[in-house]
Structure 1
Amino acid sequence: MQTPLLLKPDLTGLTRAAEILTQGGLVSFPTETVYGLGADARNDSAVAGIFAAKGRPSFNPLIVHLPSLNAAQQICEFNEDALRLAAAFWPGALTLVLPLRAGAGISKLVTAGLDTIAVRVPDHPVAAGLLAAFGGPVAAPSANPSGRISPTTAAHVRDALGDRIDALVDGGPCQVGVESTIVSCIGTPALLRAGGIPSEAIAACLGQPLTTSENPDAPTSPGQLLSHYAPQGHVRLNATERQPYEVMLGFGPVDADLNLSPAGDLVEAAARLFDCLHQLDAMGAKQIAVTPIPDHGLGRAINDRLRRAAAPR
């Protein structure tokens, strides 16, 4: 069985990772949200390798990671709303969906053939170092099999995709722990996926509420498929008591087998969410009950992931 080349998050490791990307390889690396599975966004065969490694449907677009706003402006068109959001939240856990520039050179597999593209400037020193060393756009969905739990540690990536990728940069655990918020700036700004930046903060920045737009049958951005982020076991949400056959995932001061945050801290809960789901898999949990989680701020992103984890498969 092939195992990925394990690289340290230093200059030597990032230089080697950039070389592998240039050669059309797949490199997993940490961001502040989750670990990504990166490939050269201009290389059709490299991007196809992402879909093959993840078992990801080809109609599901990818996020392109870039080192700066200036680099993003080379491949897509920014309006006033997009510039305002980029100034406020980049680098950070916000992805913007914008019109793709003609001649940008991005593989059509990245955009699923759409004339829009999802872009982000990550706020993580390892991701920033890799993007600087590579010097080009990196397409990078989460480094997990499609529909399964997202990875927040290098061990999660190694266990799930270790025989399918070329290299893994170990930068420690991810701080935010849920994927980026995705906002479309095509026309009226619309929330496409709740995530690491609360939608309330985005609406306050824009001075207007966000509309919502979601179509799991024809996604316009990543993270819109109905069944996603799923552990092996069946998930029951908003459980106020557990059945004898269930494993309980709690939030706040409740009796539970695992607890996202005994103190009821949504930031801690977001950071621990995917790791707890991985732990439930390791426990062999077949039936999982999840206690209620407030649906505001980061709680909205946590509940979004849990609803998708509980969706029929």
Structure 2
Amino acid sequence: MAAQPPLLYAFGNLAIDRAAAIIRAGGIVAVPTETVYGLAADARNAQAVAQIYAAKGRPSFNPLIVHVADLAAAKAIAVFDDDALALAERFWPGPLTLVLPLRPDAGIASLVTAGLDTIALRVPAHRAMQALIAASTAPLAAPSANMSNGISPTRAEHVAASLGARVPLIIDDGATMAGVESTIVAGRTILRPGPVTAEMLGDVLPVMPGTTAHVSAPGQLATHYAPTKPLRLNAREAGPDEWLIGFGEVAGNDTLSLDGDVVEAAARLFDALHRADASPTARIAVAAVTETGVGVAINDRLRRAAHN
């Protein structure tokens, strides 16, 4: 039977209520922001976030931006210094993302941050995203709602054409205002240019003496989490002094998925690596993971970790 196309709902109470119900049930939906349309999931639910990666065909687990209702909600998740507060108070709600230290009790799934101790946060200005945050009562992880490496979507029909049945519901509120992704700032460094320009930022914070604002390529937000111990791939059993992370029929000290489910494996990946790194063994081994769907992203991440 052919997969069902996504349901498109014009912005309104019905659209928000149905989208929020999907979010609360651990699903994903597409929603407009003032920048581009995002593919949203509850940032506290690793299984839900794994569906984002699966739907996008994302090649690696890059950290995701988390959208929250206001500065107070952001402070419950991250630690703000004076610089970050100044930027937030000037540009939020709006198309500025701040990379900040993650609070240990934030409750954010480690898949969202790619296992890092920082988090990318934004308070969106768009009515649809704000309404969905309120109705779902969740911080929403939401990268652009398109296949990985595709053109970012600025209309609902762009999302439908790119993702099709991979997303069950799209909230349609017309074309987005900015049309490009948010500016990302860490400290006083621009990691990604966007609608909030360097000149606008400079009106709030002076550039550090002797330096200029640095712009890096998209996707270079931060170094991926890597364990401190040597990591061996495609293991079928634990070797001497190894902690084995299993998958499918390969059992271990821990497992990514007993059923060989790559979406479940993606949701568990970073937590499993952290547990292995904290174990009393000197080395880590990981069973082979199926190279299909989001399994491609899992294997990309594991290869990077093994070569660090």
Same fold (TM over 0.5): yes
What is aligned with 2:203? Answer: 204
1:221/1:202 CA distance change after superposition, 3 Å: farther
Q: Does 1:39 align with 2:41?
A: yes
2:203 aligned counterpart, secondary structure: helix
1:46 aligned counterpart, secondary structure: helix
Q: Does the CA-based 8 Å contact 1:97-1:221 persist in structure 2?
A: no
Name structure 1 gaps, 5 residues minimum: 223-313
What is aligned with 1:20? Answer: 22
Q: Does 1:82 align with 2:81?
A: no
Q: Does the CA-based 8 Å contact 1:97-1:183 persist in structure 2?
A: yes
In structure 2, how many angstroms separate the alpha carbons of the residues matched to 1:204 and 1:221?
29
Pairwise CA RMSD = 1.8
In structure 2, how many angstroms separate the alpha carbons of the residues matched to 1:70 and 1:37?
24
- TM superposition shift of 1:5: 2.2
- TM superposition shift of 1:13: 1.4
Highest Rg: 1 or 2? 2
2:49 aligned counterpart, secondary structure: helix
Q: Does 1:62 align with 2:64?
A: yes
In structure 1, how many angstroms separate the alpha carbons of the residues matched to 2:213 and 2:114?
23
- TM superposition shift of 1:16: 1.3
What is aligned with 1:51? Answer: 53
- TM superposition shift of 1:213: 5.7
Q: Does the CA-based 8 Å contact 1:37-1:142 persist in structure 2?
A: yes
Select which of 89, 97, 109 maps to 2:111.
109
1:84/1:21 CA distance change after superposition, 3 Å: same
Name structure 2 gaps, 5 residues minimum: 225-308
Q: Does 1:193 align with 2:195?
A: no
What is aligned with 1:176? Answer: 178
In structure 2, how many angstroms separate the alpha carbons of the residues matched to 1:19 and 1:139?
16
Q: Does the CA-based 8 Å contact 2:191-2:217 persist in structure 1?
A: no
Note the 1:1-313 alignment, pairs <5 A.
1-185=3-187, 189-208=188-207, 211-212=213-214, 214=216, 219-220=221-222
Q: Does the CA-based 8 Å contact 1:38-1:138 persist in structure 2?
A: yes
Identity of aligned residues (%): 53
In structure 1, how many angstroms separate the alpha carbons of the residues matched to 2:83 and 2:8?
40
Q: Which runs of 4+ in 1 moved over 6 A?
A: none
1:95 aligned counterpart, secondary structure: strand
In structure 1, how many angstroms separate the alpha carbons of the residues matched to 2:156 and 2:128?
13
Amino acid paired to 1:191: I
Q: TM-score, normalised by structure 2?
A: 0.68
